[in-house]
Structure 1
């Protein structure tokens, strides 16, 4: 099935890197997936 977009944030990680972060949830697999895009 298609994942559910739980949250999306534009933030800085611990090292101060600017990134976009998407948090996805796959209901059928009951797994989380966090995708980060660095700039």
Structure 2
């Protein structure tokens, strides 16, 4: 876990990689949210 966190902060230190990380994060979260809304 600690290794993953260090990679996470390293990517955030680079704006280009940080932007990719945000895009990846939303691509994972948005389908989950739509799945939850559909469940209701």
TM range (shorter): under 0.3
TM-score w.r.t. length of structure 2: 0.22
Q: Bigger relative contact order, structure 1 or 2, given CA contacts below 8 A and separation 6+?
A: 1
Considering fraction of residues, name the structure with more helix.
2
Structure having the higher strand fraction is: 1
